[in-house]
Amino acid sequence: IIVENFSLFYSTEEDQLLSPNDLRHYQIIWNMVDDKREGVIPAFRVKFLLRLLRGRLEVDLDKDKLLFKHMCYEMERLHSGGDVTFHDVLSMLSYRSVDIRKSLQLEELLAREQLEYTIEEEVAKQTIRMWLKKCLKRIRAKQQQSCSIIHSLRESQQQELSRFLNPPSIETTQPSDDLNLNNQDNAQPEVLSSTHVF
């Protein structure tokens, strides 16, 4: 069934893109992601399937990160974020694995090129949008930090101004004690002088 539905993989036996082992590997990975054996998986889980693929269907995230985004977005866009089938993903992989200009008829080629152009454009817009959101988030974080610093500086200035305008009262207990001692010293000679007169 796979060979009949995906003749795109087999232009000639000599120029075979996928071997039976490649297809078996894909089946194994699919079963790992489709753990309920329903024959479909949510579109958002395609990215997990792609990360697990090896061999000719492998997507190198270090070298082909943009291609990975395009493949994931294609599945979400074509199926409106719903479920995708075993053959949906394999069909997408087939188009992404060959030179479509050599493998497709003119009408199908034009339709496919239009789809890929649309996907590239929308993924680029998403990337720019996400970048702008990150920039805006950083700007807001810096603004909040600046506002916090300004607020703390204002509070500190208000406290200093309050201390300047309302200085604390000065204690006078010590001077009064000294004054009492001086009074006692002054009174002592007067008593002596009066006694001396008598």
Is the model's pLDDT at 193 over the cut of 70? no
Range with lowest mean pLDDT among 4-13, 102-111, 114-123:
4-13
Q: Does pTM surpass 0.95?
A: no
**In terms of Cα–Cα distance, which of 74, 83, 68, 85 is closest to 114?**
74
Q: Which domain holds residue 37?
A: 2-103
The reply to whether 76 falls in a domain is yes
Q: By percentage, how much of the chain surpasses pLDDT 90? A: 23
- Confidence at residue 156, expressed as pLDDT on a 0 to 100 scale: 79
pLDDT at 137 over 60: yes
Tokens of 90: 């394999």
Query: Phi then psi for 99, rounded to 5 degrees?
Result: -85, 100
Provide the token pair at 110. 């034009």
Q: How far apart are CA 131 and CA 127, in angstroms?
A: 6
Helices 86-97 and 65-78: crossing angle in degrees, nearest 10, is 140
Sequence-separated contacts (24+) of 104-111 with Cβ below 8 Å: 104/8
What mean pLDDT do residues 87-116 have?
A: 84
The answer as to whether 175 is a domain residue is no
* Residue 138 lies inside a defined structural domain of this protein: no
Does residue 178 form part of some domain?
no
pLDDT of 41 reads 94
Instruction: Say whether pLDDT at 131 is over 80.
Output: yes
Q: Is residue 23 over pLDDT 60?
A: yes
172 inside domain: no
Sign of CA dihedral 12, 67, 39, 113: negative
Q: What is the CATH number of the domain that holds 70?
A: 1.10.238.10
Does a structural domain hold residue 186? no
Mean pLDDT, all residues of the chain: 78
Tokens representing 103 are 């493998």
Number of domains, the chain: 1
91-95, 122-126, 156-160: segment of lowest average pLDDT: 156-160
H or E segment at 184?
helix 173-197
